Structure 1
Amino acid sequence: MGTQKITIVVFVFITAYLADISLAEFSTEDCASLGFIKANLLCSSCDQLKDFSLDQLVEHCKECCHNDDSAPKEKKYARAILEVCTCKFPAYPQIQAFVKSDRPAKFPNLQIKYLRGLDPIIKLLDKDGIVREIVAIEKWNTDSVEEFLNTHLEKEEDDDRGFLKTNLI
């Protein structure tokens, strides 16, 4: 009877230990060493790894992510400046495609600046015109740039539309 009690105690201990391991989250440092930024990683992003045949990263990604519904709301900025160098367009064809398309016109509070020798970046400014964030976008595609701007830029209404809305019959 004594060995049966010991076996049960050992079983309970091992089960509790394994449950504790499976519920443990990776620390910020652990995630950084794996290439994940824990503070910004949404769990929906982990699911997308499979689309790129990166299934082996999903488990670690899930240990570092935040549920999308509990994630903090994205901060909105009044303006953005996309800075690029036309001489580097061949190295960044997706950025060139974005700049030369009609997509920038969708963002009246986006300015495109051409600066010699600069890799493409987006500067996010507050309502006072102070740069609050700078994001390197050299590896982004056109859809990523547009999605980022939709997420982080405040929506500006055209003055004409506002005027028309107030005069509706």
Structure 2
Amino acid sequence: MGLLIYICSVALLLAAVPLGTAKEQLSSRECEDLGFTGLALCSDCNTFAEYVKDPDLVSDCLKCCSEDSDDSTSKITYSGAVLEVCMRKLVFYPEIVGFIEEEKDQFPSVKVQYVFNSPPKLMMLDDAGQHKETIRIDNWKREHVLQFLREKVKPTSAN
């Protein structure tokens, strides 16, 4: 009887762990304020960690992500994006300027929009052109923007 109670207790503990997922989850608003809204999957946070060696940022990312699934939908892609930035603040973001001036043309479905006082961010769009995710890219290097867009934006077909 004691062994049965022990087994049931362990089973209950194991069943409860995925629901609580030992990590603290933040609200979508808190995540957006931190700039992590667009990093929907935890594998994206792991990729992010390769580029950003700040454990606090990676920890925040992990508080805002969803667990990856094993099916083919685990790699979310978008039909396009809007790179939003304040034209007056561009002087502070030479990597973003370099991307806009030299690489942006590789991505016809990515538009640049100048919005007063906006930090650099990518607003990811679905097939209907609707805004789905926002990703702050203040500290991204040009090659990180390129790699992210290559992985997350579907190649455009002949329109």
Shorter-chain-normalised TM-score: which range?
Answer: 0.5 to 0.7
Counterpart position of 1:42: 42
Q: Which consecutive residues of structure 2, in runs of 5 or more, have no partner in the other structure?
A: none
Counterpart position of 1:133: 132
Decide whether the 8 Å contact of 1:41 with 1:65 is kept in 2.
Answer: yes
Q: Distance in 2 between matches of 1:106 and 1:47?
A: 22
Q: Greater relative contact order: 1 or 2 (C-alpha under 8 angstroms, separation 6 or more)?
A: 2
Decide whether the 8 Å contact of 1:123 with 1:135 is kept in 2.
Answer: yes
In the TM superposition, what whole-angstrom CA distance separates every residue of 1:51-81 from its partner, at most 9, and x where no partner exists?
8374xx88xx5xx76246345341431x322
The amino acid that maps onto 1:109 is S
Q: Distance in 2 between matches of 1:90 and 1:149?
A: 22
Counterpart position of 2:117: 117
- Identity of matched residues, %: 18
The amino acid that maps onto 1:82 is L
Counterpart position of 2:24: 31
Q: Which consecutive residues of structure 1, in runs of 5 or more, have no partner in the other structure?
A: 160-169
Distance change >3 Å, CA 149–CA 26, structure 1 → 2: same
Counterparts of 1:12-161 in structure 2 under 5 Å?
13=6, 17-18=9-10, 20-21=12-13, 24-27=17-20, 31-33=24-26, 40-43=40-43, 45-46=45-46, 49=49, 52=53, 54=55, 66-67=67-68, 69-70=70-71, 72-77=74-79, 79-100=80-101, 102-126=102-126, 130-141=129-140, 142-157=142-157
Decide whether the 8 Å contact of 2:119 with 2:138 is kept in 1.
Answer: no
Q: CA RMSD in A?
A: 4.4
Distance change >3 Å, CA 72–CA 134, structure 1 → 2: closer
Q: Distance in 2 between matches of 1:83 and 1:155?
A: 20
Give aligned pairs, total. 142
Q: Which has the higher helix share?
A: 1
Aligned-pair CA distance for 1:153? 2.2
Q: Distance in 2 between matches of 1:75 and 1:126?
A: 8
TM-score, length of structure 2 as denominator length? 0.57
